[in-house]
Amino acid sequence: MQPTQVLHSSVTCPYPNPHASLRLFCFPYAGGNSLIFRPWLKSLPTTVEVCPVELPGRGIQMKLAPISRLELLIKSLASTLLPHLNQPFAFFGHSMGALISFELTRLLRREYNISPVHLFISGRRAPQIPDPKPPIHALPEPEFIEELRRLNGTPQAVLENTELMQLLIPTLRADFAVLETYAYTPEPTLNVPITTFGGLQDSEVNFDELQAWQAQTHSTFSQQMFPGNHFFLHSAQSLLLQSLSQQLNRITSEASC
């Protein structure tokens, strides 16, 4: 096994694949880090180089302050990723990561005239739909932790570990601030194929809110639902990776024709 290659301060490629025809950048949900994509690395086609993105304030970026505004975050990510967009690439993002990948796609088109070959959106309502829920990022700590418990994305053992939570709360607050201060601005529709993935029991994002992503592309659009709640990417991981593999195989096959 080859050692982990750090492409830049926030992009890792644990299994470098110089012969891959497509690079897949993966963006985590709020509070998540690049390790959530570790099981993916050997489950996707060999034609794809999987590159999880590590955001500031976690993992190998733990010493960096988390960024609490989406505009600043995507500008930072664009400069980080730009040297590695020298071959066909695609984005996958779940929840917060989906919003990051969408706005990063728009920034890359706007400022560099480059685009991913595909955008995989998971567990996130379309950006033009306002958040119906009140913000939580500035709540007092007990109420904030209770909201985290309700969302069911943080393990109970972590929520009950006071010392660990003191380390995690600044990053979690920043991530929720990224989502809750976001304001959608209309721009020309993308010419990038979009696939959305959702959880059938997800109380945060429903079928119609995922379907509404179709308005963001002039290209092809598809949608697939899996059993599970908002974190179906873990509970239905094998089904998700099977679907993702099929689509990535098709993309790389078409690119080689």
Instruction: Please report the pLDDT score of residue 160 as a whole number.
Output: 82
Residue 256 is predicted with a pLDDT of: 64
Q: Flag whether 59 is in a domain.
A: yes
Active-site residue set: 95
Q: Is 146 domain-assigned?
A: no
Residue 186 identity: P
Residue range of the domain that includes 252: 5-130+183-256
CATH number for 252: 3.40.50.1820
The Cα–Cα gap between 145 and 174 comes to 14
In a domain, 139, yes or no: no
Cα-Cα-Cα-Cα torsion 161, 164, 165, 171, nearest 10 degrees, comes to -160
135 assigned to some structural domain: no
Rounded average pLDDT over 176-180? 94
pLDDT digits (tens, 9 = 90+) for 103-114: 999 999 999 999
Cα–Cα distances in angstroms (integers) from residue 231 to residues 6, 21, 68, 204, in the given order: 27, 29, 22, 10
pLDDT of 8: 40
Q: What percent of the chain has pLDDT over 70?
A: 95
Query: Between 119 and 147, where is the model more confident?
Result: 119
Q: Count the domains in the chain.
A: 1
Domain annotation covers residue 152: no
Domain membership flag for residue 165: no
Start-end of H helices in 18-140: 70-81, 96-112
* Domain assignment present for 169: no
**Three-state DSSP state, 120:** strand
Structure tokens at 95: 């929840």
Record the pTM.
Answer: 0.92
Please indicate, yes or no, if residue 246 is contained in any of the structural domains.
Answer: yes
